[in-house]
Amino acid sequence: MSFDMKDIRKRMDGAVVVLRKEFAGLRTGRASASLLEPLVVDAYGARMQITQLGNINVPEPRLITVQVWDSSVVKAVERAIRESDLGLNPQTEGTTIRVPIPDLNQERRQELTKVAGKYAELARVAVRNVRRDGMDHLKRMERDGDLTEDEHRQKSQEIQTLTDEHVKLVDEAYHEKEREIMQV
C-alpha cells in the first residue's frame, strides 16, 4: 500500500475549482455568459444545454445575447431563461435573444452573499473530508506496518498544511465574491 500526496492535493484542488464554478453562476450586477450556461432547454423532444442550441455572448457589461442557431427552438430557449430562478426577462429579436441584467437591490445582494457562504462552507467540508480520508489512510498504513510512527506524523503534518492552504483559498475566493456581490 502506498501513499499519494499528489492525489490528496488534486482532490482538494478539485473542491476549489468546483467552488469557483459555482461562484461564476452567482449573479452579481455584471453580465457573464456563465450565468446562462447551466440552463437546460426542452428542445427537439429532449432536454439540452443552452450551449448546444446557440452562442452566448456578452456585448455589453449589462447585457447577454443568445444567438439561437435554429429558429424553431427560439421560444423554448426564451422560456427556459424566463422560467429559470435567475430573475431575468429575455426579449426576442428574430433568432437573437437579448437578456438585460437588472440592477441588484440590497436585499437580493444579501441573499446572494448567504448563498455564496453556503457554497464556501460546502467547499471547506469537501477539503476536510479529503484530509480525513488521507489521515485514515495513514493510520491504516501505520497499523499494517507500512509506515513508521515518525513518517506518519510527518505525512499528517503535510496533509494538515495542504488542508490549511486550501481552506485559505476557499476563504479568499468567498471574500472576493462577497465584495463583488456587495459592490454597487
CATH number of 173's domain: 1.10.132.20
Decide if 60 contacts 53 (C-beta within 8 A). no
Tell me the three state secondary structure of residue 49.
strand
User: Both 92 and 112 in a single domain?
Assistant: no
Residue 1 has pLDDT above 60, yes or no: no
pLDDT at 35 over 80: no
User: Which residues are CB-neighbours of 88 under 8 A, at least 6 positions away?
Assistant: 81, 82, 99, 100, 101, 102
* 96 and 119 belong to one structural domain: no
- Tell whether 81 and 114 lie within a shared domain: no
| pTM reported for the whole predicted model | 0.67
Asked whether residue 38 falls in the same domain as residue 93, the answer is yes
The three cell numbers of residue 138 are: 495513514
CA angle at 114 for the pair 160 and 80, rounded to the nearest 5°: 115
pLDDT tens, residue by residue, 41-72: 888 888 888 888 899 998 888 889 999 998 89
Q: CATH number of the domain that 82 lies in? A: 3.30.1360.40
**Closest alpha carbon to 23 in 128, 171, 155, 159:** 171
Range in 24-28, 38-42, 67-71, 175-179 the model is least confident about: 24-28
How many distinct structural domains can be found in the chain?
2
Q: Which domain holds residue 44?
A: 30-100
Helices (runs of H) and strands (runs of E) counted in the chain: 4, 6
* Pairing mode, strands 91-93 and 96-100: antiparallel
Confidence band for 133, pLDDT divided at 50, 70 and 90: very high
- Asked which of 100, 116, 144 is the last residue of a domain, the reply is 100
Question: Of the candidates 76, 100, 124, which is a domain's last residue?
Answer: 100
Same domain, 167 and 129: yes
Closest CA to 135 of 11, 15, 5: 5
Mean pLDDT of 142-148: 90
Is 85 found in the same domain as 53? yes
